[in-house]
Chains A and B, each alone.
Chain A
Amino acid sequence: MRRLDARQTHVIRFTLNGRAVEAHCSPRMLLSDVLRGELGATGTHVGCEHGVCGACTVRIDGMMARSCLTLAVQVEGATVDTVEGVAPAPGRLSVLQDAFRKHHALQCGFCTAGIVMSLDTLLRDAPDADEARIRDVLSGHLCRCTGYHAIVQAALEAVETLRKETDHA
């Protein structure tokens, strides 16, 4: 493992939403701070900085992770996906995002980035996820606006829509 000097900044290189990026950071910098402050990817939000609220959730090499509990230097060489990379193209929404809009599954939208990342990951890993599974994944997030009901409905509809799309493919 590379040994990093705490007093120096280091260049880290990784793939962010499909593009190669590099950032200069000291070893103690959090991934959330580097994504937002250094790379301008402000879609990932920071709500508690102790790993409970889930707003900062991103995907690192396919796995959900709290970017507030991850040091930026840990993602050297990794593939990182954030909420900015979920939609198929600018101006469009993914099936899940569209279901969120339809069901009023967001209000202020601050926690939404993390929830979208977790559910998007769930739908990739378990396209047939049932309500219990969705609730389990969602329980890693705090939302203060919606009372969660609409989020569960949106996720269930997204599962259904994706199932139909797959059946027709």
Chain B
Amino acid sequence: MAKDVPHQPMPRLEDAPLLTGRGQFFDDLPVPHGTLYAAILRSPHAHARLRAIHADAARGLAGVHSVLTGEDYAGVAAPLMVGVRLPIECWPIARHKVRYAGEPVAVVLAGDRYIAEDALDLIEVDYDPFAPVLDPVEALDADAPVLHDEMGGNLGSDRQFTYGDPGAAFDDAEHVVDISVRYPRNSCTPIETYGVLAQWEPHGQSFDITANFQGPFSIHPVIARALQVPGNRLRLRTPEDSGGSFGVKQGVFPYIALLAACARLADRPVKWVEDRLEHLTASVSSTNRAITLRAAVRGDGRITALDYDQVEDVGAYLRAPEPATLYRMHGNLCGAYDIANLSVRNRIVMTNKTPTGLNRGFGGPQIYFVLERLMQRIAAELDLDPVEVIRTNLIPTDAFPYRTASGATYDSGDYVRAFEQALKDGRYDALVARRNERRAEGRMYGIGLSVAVEPSVSNMGYLSTVLTPEERARSGPKNGAQSSATVHIDPVGTITVQLDSVPQGQGHKTVAAGIVAERFGLSPGNIKVVAALDTSKDAWSIAAGNYASRFAAASAGAVCIAADRLRDRLAWIAAAQLNVVPDDLRFEGGRIFAAGNPDAALPFARVASAAHWAPATLPELDGSPIRETAIWTAPELSAPNEADEINSSLCHGFIFDFCGVEIDPITHEAHIDRYVSMHDCGTILHEGMVEGQIRGAFAHAIGASLYEEYAYDEDGAFLAGTFADYPVPTVHEIPDLEIYHICTPSPVTPLGAKGVGEGNCMSTPVCVANAVADALRPGCGEVDLVLPLIPARIAGFLQDEPRAPEGQEKRRETGGKGLSGTGQARVDAAPQDIWDLLMDADQLAAIIPGAHGVKRLSPTRFLADVTLGVGPVKGRYRVDVALSDLDEPRSAVLTGKASGALGTGMGEGRVTLTPDDAGGTLIGYAYDASVGGKVASVGGRLLDGAAKIVIGQFFSALGRRAGDPTHRQGIFARLRARLGGAS
């Protein structure tokens, strides 16, 4: 079925406008007059009862139009549909309870964004915090905090699958090897954040939305249902350009629902652009997952069965299209290996973290991390060469198309050839020699290998594998993946192509122009391709969008089919005029002519425009030569069957990676010395773009391997709220990459192409981890690795880790916001004088750094209004301090709670006052505190230092006050002193 593809590498049509600042990204587009700008107030708590929202002050601020809450939303809109039948309600803004730090709590609409953000600071929210649960396995405990009371627990789904006879295979196994891993949360963080412009038209009861949504458009019905309008009353438009997505911009949809409801409530257009803190905290990420994988293995390393136990953490809500991350790989759980017996247990749990969604690799990084770590573990336990273990298990060449145990059809491939060729061309032997040399020098050097099958073009039915066959029978079959493309010829014979793929920089317009130009014998520059999609005007289906690497395999195929049909019709028109048969015609150089008689040629434009100007002169055709929309799905994408077998994706590429990693003995950084990646992505449509996709995925994977994590602390505070806390690799962090290809064209896609954009996100993290494990093996034996492999984690395995300097001991693995410390200060005053100062609200107001006022609520309770700055964040807090264990004038315990627009804090400190020989006092203090909200997210790195400074300021102010006799008298004495001083 593979057809011609353009051979000329052409420059991208997208580039010139983007390079000169003429892109049409969401925030570059004009807005209607009267547009209001939204800012969103978010929960600083991971889990709390939402008691009251006090927004009068915010509403009173000049320029503020309204402040809307979850209750307002519920007046005009409904919760978001959930993919699995569960008794939970997924609101896009909190009602009654907050379940993750960063969950929307209120929306301010104002004349500009600056004022909207000012108003956020004026909203006060009363929360009753609960204990959160962050860990997916702990969330299954009977006594774990429950997120959704209606569920009675946190388990959203529990399914078991058996394919073949894994029980017998394990019974007969010579060896059983197992491994347990934790895959962390990370995200590809597009540089353009989310943006939504929503308009409501009350007479037509319809919404007009522009958002940098990326699909899948199966989400469109979810939004329409939430907004309680029929599908045709939800016009969803995407801008021509989108600043990266990598899956993540699927997650804008809850905000589409939220902002659309706001536009309806305000009866004004509403625009919102997400800021970076919001994006990192509360957009979407990959799922984190706990997986145990067991293998039944023969003595020669041949695997006869696999047994997966997966606990998937989707965060606080099961939000569409989840639990897709868990099921996307269901057909290819055995990777590139020929394994007939498989058992799987899949559990989905909810925890107090941001709901998850699409992220490049989508399910692949999790699966291959455990599978390829297991392959290395098998080699180690059986004392085999890891290369041999892979070789022994690879699907043999003559087995393609290969049907996997769980029902996928691997459409084409030659894994053995790709594997052997990569070892040879990538000079694997030299890498082994290099490792041996380095090790002989006493250095820590390791080699990692990984093999992955990269699925593309998702079957829209794979998600229904989460349902039992009986449930599926009730809800009706779901399958397929409709791709659409329209090719239009205008009255002067020029061509416009409409895509359904919503690209974010993948060059779809260039590839489509090349395909169409080739078919019509025109120059690609003459083809206009439109990427902006409008659900009211363009052809689309639920599979539309830019995900699952579907463009090359599916959308480009639809373009090709539409162009072929039009070309055939034009050939009939030209054949009638030239008196030849259509098959003899050539389309070249803007002309149409018979192969044997190029001189008798018709201008392309004249033939192409004929249907506009003189339709009656045309021969009978099978359709209009003006416009053709092709809608194509592959018949291979069938629904899951009774046995739960599912062809989860249409095509399957192949990747084999190996790399050499050296660990720095001092810093414990993992340095990637060499990295080789072999790909088979079927027919390559554009070499430069394929290389760009591979290098881009590789860069994301390096981040996931070594640097990036959406980390939470035990209270559920989000700790990665800036690009300093979530360190995305720069050019210095990306190592050299050697890329190789073989090509086995896909027999099931129109162009023979397969997806290629996600593979290294799946193969690279585990390849790097295997290399690190190999580097550590001589000194540490087998290690269990958790990504990202930051130096602190690697150091944990090395026994000779140097001790931290005194007073700088590491307390947390990932850095964070729990604080504790002790200290001492000497003050030149007696203990009783200091005690009196500490019990006097007016005195405290002068001593506490940044205090605007202190109120004494009772003899042992104070309320302070304080401005504090940490790193980039400065804000005002209400601090509620209670004193206990009073032992006048020797010691007291202070318990404090702080809250403000920028976050919350809680802490306890003990102060002791000891007289010294010189008439002064030694003040000793010890504190333990924790902070949440924005401060924890963006200032985590700086908190220790900031706390020390603030405490230091407090005691030096205390010392100054206590040492100055005028401050130790009563208020009248002070007044007298002040008046006296002034006179």
Q: Footprint of B on A, CB under 8 Å?
A: 26, 28-29, 36, 41-50, 52-53, 55, 82-84, 86-87, 93, 97, 100-102, 104, 106-113, 116, 135, 138-152
- Inter-chain contacts of A49 with B (CB < 8 A): 275-276
What's the least CB distance linking B40 to chain A, in Å?
15
Given A101-B19, A139-B731, A143-B191, the answer on whether A28 and B114 have CB atoms closer than 8 Å is yes
Nearest residue, chain A, Cβ from B687: A104
Q: Footprint of A on B, CB under 8 Å?
A: 11-12, 14-16, 18-23, 25, 27-28, 114, 188-193, 241-244, 246, 275-276, 504-507, 688-689, 691-692, 695-696, 698-700, 722-724, 728, 730-732, 734, 737, 872, 938
- Inter-chain contacts of A26 with B (CB < 8 A): 114
What's the least CB distance linking A7 to chain B, in Å?
10
- Inter-chain contacts of B699 with A (CB < 8 A): 144, 146-148
A139 to B28, CA, bound (A): 26
Cβ A84 vs Cβ B20 within 8 A: yes
What's the least CB distance linking A33 to chain B, in Å?
8
Cβ B20 vs Cβ A86 within 8 A: yes
Sample of 23 A–B contacts (CB below 8 Å): A45-B192, A45-B243, A47-B192, A47-B193, A47-B243, A47-B276, A53-B723, A55-B191, A82-B21, A87-B20, A100-B19, A104-B691, A106-B15, A112-B18, A139-B731, A142-B723, A142-B730, A144-B696, A144-B700, A147-B695, A147-B699, A148-B730, A152-B731
- Inter-chain contacts of A102 with B (CB < 8 A): 11
Given A108-B242, A149-B695, the answer on whether A139 and B191 have CB atoms closer than 8 Å is no
- Inter-chain contacts of B731 with A (CB < 8 A): 135, 138-139, 148, 151-152
A79 to B14, CA, bound (A): 30
A161 to B136, CA, bound (A): 56
Nearest residue, chain B, Cβ from A108: B505
Cβ B723 vs Cβ A138 within 8 A: no
Given A135-B732, A139-B731, A146-B699, the answer on whether A43 and B21 have CB atoms closer than 8 Å is yes
- Inter-chain contacts of A152 with B (CB < 8 A): 731
Given A53-B723, A139-B731, the answer on whether A45 and B191 have CB atoms closer than 8 Å is yes
Q: Which of B504, B505, B723, B730 contacts A139 (CB 8 A)?
A: B730
A14 to B724, CA, bound (A): 32
A142 to B28, CA, bound (A): 20
- Inter-chain contacts of A43 with B (CB < 8 A): 20-23
Interface of A is mostly: loop
Given A49-B276, A109-B15, the answer on whether A83 and B21 have CB atoms closer than 8 Å is yes
Cβ B505 vs Cβ A107 within 8 A: yes
- Inter-chain contacts of B696 with A (CB < 8 A): 107, 144-147
Given contacts A45-B243, A110-B190, A150-B691, 5 further A-B contacts (CB under 8 A): A107-B244, A108-B505, A144-B700, A145-B696, A146-B696
The 5 closest A-B CB pairs, nearest first, are A43-B21, A108-B505, A110-B243, A109-B18, A107-B505
A136 to B22, CA, bound (A): 27
What's the least CB distance linking A29 to chain B, in Å?
7
- Inter-chain contacts of B20 with A (CB < 8 A): 43, 83-84, 86-87, 93, 97
- Greatest chain A CB density within 10 A among B688, B692, B699, B728 is at B692
A84 to B23, CA, bound (A): 11
What's the least CB distance linking B751 to chain A, in Å?
20
Given A100-B15, A149-B695, the answer on whether A108 and B872 have CB atoms closer than 8 Å is no
- Inter-chain contacts of A84 with B (CB < 8 A): 20-22
- Inter-chain contacts of B27 with A (CB < 8 A): 36, 42, 46
What's the least CB distance linking A119 to chain B, in Å?
11
- Inter-chain contacts of B21 with A (CB < 8 A): 41-44, 82-84, 113
Given A47-B191, A144-B189, A147-B699, the answer on whether A93 and B507 have CB atoms closer than 8 Å is no
A26 to B191, CA, bound (A): 27
Cβ B192 vs Cβ A110 within 8 A: yes
A43 to B24, CA, bound (A): 9
Cβ A106 vs Cβ B505 within 8 A: yes
- Inter-chain contacts of A101 with B (CB < 8 A): 11-12, 15-16, 19
Q: Which of A28, A87, A138 contacts B730 (CB 8 A)?
A: A138
Cβ A145 vs Cβ B18 within 8 A: no
Given A109-B23, A142-B723, the answer on whether A48 and B692 have CB atoms closer than 8 Å is no
What's the least CB distance linking A152 to chain B, in Å?
7
Given A47-B192, A146-B692, the answer on whether A108 and B737 have CB atoms closer than 8 Å is no
Cβ B11 vs Cβ A29 within 8 A: no
A150 to B692, CA, bound (A): 8
- Inter-chain contacts of B698 with A (CB < 8 A): 147
A101 to B737, CA, bound (A): 21
A149 to B872, CA, bound (A): 32
- Inter-chain contacts of B19 with A (CB < 8 A): 83, 87, 93, 97, 100-101, 106, 109, 112, 116
Nearest residue, chain B, Cβ from A90: B20
Nearest residue, chain B, Cβ from A148: B731
- Greatest chain A CB density within 10 A among B15, B698, B732 is at B15
What's the least CB distance linking A105 to chain B, in Å?
9
- Greatest chain A CB density within 10 A among B14, B114, B244 is at B244
Cβ A50 vs Cβ B16 within 8 A: no
A28 to B244, CA, bound (A): 29
A49 to B275, CA, bound (A): 8
Cβ A52 vs Cβ B505 within 8 A: no
What's the least CB distance linking B381 to chain A, in Å?
35
Given A36-B27, A49-B275, A144-B191, the answer on whether A107 and B506 have CB atoms closer than 8 Å is yes
What's the least CB distance linking A71 to chain B, in Å?
12
- Inter-chain contacts of A104 with B (CB < 8 A): 12, 688-689, 691-692
- Inter-chain contacts of B16 with A (CB < 8 A): 93, 97, 101
Q: Which of B11, B728, B737 contacts A142 (CB 8 A)?
A: B728
What's the least CB distance linking B506 to chain A, in Å?
7
A108 to B503, CA, bound (A): 8
What's the least CB distance linking B211 to chain A, in Å?
16
- Inter-chain contacts of B724 with A (CB < 8 A): 50, 52
What's the least CB distance linking A42 to chain B, in Å?
4
- Inter-chain contacts of B695 with A (CB < 8 A): 146-147, 149-150
- Inter-chain contacts of B722 with A (CB < 8 A): 48, 50, 52
Cβ B244 vs Cβ A108 within 8 A: yes
Nearest residue, chain B, Cβ from A135: B731
Cβ B730 vs Cβ A107 within 8 A: no
Cβ A29 vs Cβ B114 within 8 A: yes
A146 to B244, CA, bound (A): 11
Cβ B276 vs Cβ A110 within 8 A: no
What's the least CB distance linking B113 to chain A, in Å?
8
- Inter-chain contacts of B732 with A (CB < 8 A): 135, 139
Nearest residue, chain B, Cβ from A86: B20
- Greatest chain B CB density within 10 A among A45, A82, A93, A100 is at A45
What's the least CB distance linking A4 to chain B, in Å?
15
A36 to B27, CA, bound (A): 9
What's the least CB distance linking B284 to chain A, in Å?
15
What's the least CB distance linking B870 to chain A, in Å?
14
Given A101-B11, A107-B506, the answer on whether A149 and B191 have CB atoms closer than 8 Å is no
- Inter-chain contacts of A149 with B (CB < 8 A): 695, 734, 737
- Inter-chain contacts of A82 with B (CB < 8 A): 21
- Inter-chain contacts of A108 with B (CB < 8 A): 18, 190-192, 241-244, 504-505
Nearest residue, chain A, Cβ from B275: A49
Given A83-B21, A112-B19, the answer on whether A107 and B734 have CB atoms closer than 8 Å is no
A116 to B850, CA, bound (A): 43
What's the least CB distance linking A85 to chain B, in Å?
9
What's the least CB distance linking A161 to chain B, in Å?
15
A109 to B503, CA, bound (A): 12
Nearest residue, chain A, Cβ from B504: A108
Cβ A50 vs Cβ B276 within 8 A: yes
Q: Which of B25, B723, B737 contacts A110 (CB 8 A)?
A: B25
- Inter-chain contacts of A100 with B (CB < 8 A): 15, 19
A28 to B732, CA, bound (A): 34
Given A50-B276, A101-B16, A144-B190, the answer on whether A109 and B243 have CB atoms closer than 8 Å is yes
Q: Which of A44, A48, A112 contacts B723 (CB 8 A)?
A: A48
